[in-house]
């Protein structure tokens, strides 16, 4: 029990008068820091939320979420220890101790990341981190940063909103009679006491028969965008496929969209034929007779070269055959829009190219095929267009480019698609940090 009390006292503090005074001084410093950074000062009075708001001021919002959750977790453990009389030899005590140590380690790492961002915000040296690191000393740098006129924030939280407005598109894509038109104004969620915008201002029209590459770094919103397009996660958007509004007539259009996730969802003990017959029952309208389902299954097996192995068990198939089977399951409904998330994952170059050649043939029949792949350059000659999503300075997914492959190379000044992704990735992710520049450039070129 002593170990628990020492750890909790170190990171949560005591309720003694000196500790209460130090905590009050820190809250006062936060009140002023929040005011300087354009955040409502009263957030300083709310436990756990103030950690998150401080991280927003420091430009470390993602880290602040983890930090605030850890702070809440330590408070909960403190209440458990206070309410239950565990002995040091109790197994529950060991579990609580291990959980607490894990939370404290994460708490320390992420709090220091936030305080490091705060030092950067105020142009202070990193040695200030020593004072920020404990509850007994962080009031001192807090008061200095808050009330010393020498320390002024390099940016305000509202600056991110202003930057988003600067990069905003002031136009929309013209709705096509044949093809896919996306006019997405915003996709947002409520997270950690505020509205978080995941995607914003994405407008494009994709003609029939086009095979489109979807590029973007981790967290750029590729999956969120695809879910918004296929109606799985509705956004503030208008999505029109072949003159039909996807959101307003979702039931009618659900058979017009095929989505192949990265994970394969097939039973290993079933044969290829039985797997596709089951898929036909699920993906074709109920009024379709059994004979027509069997005919469609035979057609799909022929298209994707699965007829020779139709009686083989799924678990006996090669990696490439499993991928083709996974794609075939979605292609059963003969969708007008075909979306695939890393269909070449785990395949070597030869097998991957063979798979993409099949997808190229699908597009050539008049379908729209949108593909996410992390190795685009080995099959880039098979694509018509490329969509590039990027996180702006507010970490919102934005459209940095949509157009032909050659236009993309000219626009970004880079030959390889992987180089394009690197150019829009944030610097801390190993990129060039040019997302805002290219988002603004594309908006200017497209809607000037």
Q: Is 38 exposed, middle or buried (0-12, 13-18, 19+ CB in 10 A)?
A: middle
pLDDT digit string, tens, across residues 161-187: 555 555 555 567 788 888 999 999 888
Give the percent of the chain with pLDDT over 90. 20
Q: Are 379 and 404 in contact (CB under 8 A)?
A: no
Q: What residues pair up with 194 in beta bridges, in sequence order?
A: 191
What would the mean pLDDT of 86-95 be, rounded to a whole number?
Answer: 68
Q: How many residues does the chain have?
A: 448
C-alpha radius of gyration, the chain, whole number: 27
Taking the CA of residue 114 as centre, how many other CA atoms within 13 Å lie in the half-sphere pointing to its CB?
Answer: 25
**Where does the pLDDT of residue 380 fall: very low under 50, low under 70, confident under 90, or very high at 90 and above?**
very high
Nearest to 119 by CA among 98, 141, 147, 137: 141
The Cα–Cα gap between 105 and 422 comes to 32
pLDDT digit string, tens, across residues 346-379: 777 788 888 898 899 889 989 999 999 888 999 9
pLDDT at 20: 76
Identify the structural domains of the chain with CATH numbers, from first to last: 2-153 (no CATH), 163-256+335-447 (3.40.50.300)
The Cα–Cα gap between 15 and 24 comes to 12
The pLDDT of residue 198 is above 70: yes
pLDDT at 125: 86
Residues with Cβ within 8 Å of residue 297, at least 6 apart in sequence: 273, 276, 277, 280, 332
278 token code pair: 């089951």
The pLDDT of residue 139 is above 70: yes
What would the mean pLDDT of 204-214 be, rounded to a whole number?
Answer: 94
The Cα–Cα gap between 71 and 63 comes to 12
The pLDDT of residue 10 is above 50: no
Residues with Cβ within 8 Å of residue 25, at least 6 apart in sequence: 139, 142, 143
pLDDT digit string, tens, across residues 14-70: 556 677 788 888 889 999 999 988 888 998 888 888 888 898 888 888 888 888 888
Residues with Cβ within 8 Å of residue 290, at least 6 apart in sequence: none
pLDDT at 11: 47
What would the mean pLDDT of 407-435 be, rounded to a whole number?
Answer: 89
**Helix extents (H) in 84-178:** 91-121, 129-132, 139-147, 157-166
Taking the CA of residue 31 as centre, how many other CA atoms within 13 Å lie in the half-sphere pointing to its CB?
Answer: 8
3-class SS at 217? coil
The pLDDT of residue 409 is above 90: yes
The Cα–Cα gap between 119 and 135 comes to 17
Give the global pTM. 0.69
Count CB atoms within 10 A of the CB of residue 425: 22
The pLDDT of residue 246 is above 80: yes
3-class SS at 340? strand
């Amino acid at each position: 029990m002593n170990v628990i009390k020492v750890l909790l006292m170190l990171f949560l503090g005591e309720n003694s008068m000196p500790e209460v005074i130090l905590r009050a001084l820190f809250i006062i410093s936060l009140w002023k820091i929040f005011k300087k950074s354009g955040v409502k000062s009263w957030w300083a009075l709310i436990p756990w939320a103030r950690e998150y708001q401080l991280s927003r001021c420091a430009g470390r919002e993602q880290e602040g979420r983890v930090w605030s959750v850890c702070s809440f977790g330590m408070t909960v453990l403190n209440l458990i220890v206070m309410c239950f009389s565990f002995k040091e030899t109790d197994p529950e005590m060991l579990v609580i101790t291990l959980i607490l140590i894990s939370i404290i380690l994460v708490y320390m790492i992420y709090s220091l990341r936030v305080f490091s961002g705060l030092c950067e915000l105020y142009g202070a040296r990193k040695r200030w981190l020593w004072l920020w690191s404990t509850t007994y000393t962080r009031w001192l740098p807090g008061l200095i940063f808050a009330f010393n006129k020498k320390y002024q924030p390099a940016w305000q939280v509202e600056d991110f909103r202003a930057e988003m407005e600067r990069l905003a598109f002031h136009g929309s894509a013209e709705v096509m009679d044949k093809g896919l038109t996306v006019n997405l104004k915003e996709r947002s969620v409520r997270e950690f006491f505020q509205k978080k915008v995941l995607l914003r201002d994405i407008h494009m029209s994709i003609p029939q028969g086009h095979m489109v590459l979807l590029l973007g770094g981790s967290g750029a919103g590729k999956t969120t965008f695809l879910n918004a397009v296929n109606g799985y996660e509705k956004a503030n958007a208008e999505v029109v496929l072949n003159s039909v509004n996807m959101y307003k007539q979702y039931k009618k259009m659900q058979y017009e969209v095929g989505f192949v996730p990265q994970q394969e969802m097939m039973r290993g003990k079933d044969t290829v034929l039985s797997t596709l017959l089951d898929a036909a029952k699920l993906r074709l309208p109920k009024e379709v007779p059994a004979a027509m389902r069997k005919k469609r299954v035979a057609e799909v097996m022929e298209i994707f070269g699965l007829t020779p192995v139709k009686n083989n068990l799924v678990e006996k198939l090669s990696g490439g055959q499993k991928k083709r089977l996974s794609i075939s399951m979605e292609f059963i409904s003969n969708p007008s829009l075909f979306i695939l998330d890393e269909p070449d994952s785990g395949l070597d170059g030869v097998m991957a190219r063979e798979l993409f050649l099949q997808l190229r043939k699908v597009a050539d029949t008049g379908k729209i095929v949108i593909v996410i792949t992390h190795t685009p350059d080995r099959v880039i000659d098979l694509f018509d267009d490329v969509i590039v999503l990027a996180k702006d300075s507010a970490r919102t997914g934005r459209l940095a480019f949509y157009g032909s492959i050659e236009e993309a190379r000219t626009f970004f000044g880079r030959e390889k698609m992987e180089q394009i992704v690197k150019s829009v990735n944030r610097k801390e992710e190993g990129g060039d940090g040019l997302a805002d520049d290219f988002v603004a450039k594309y908006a200017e070129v497209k809607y000037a």
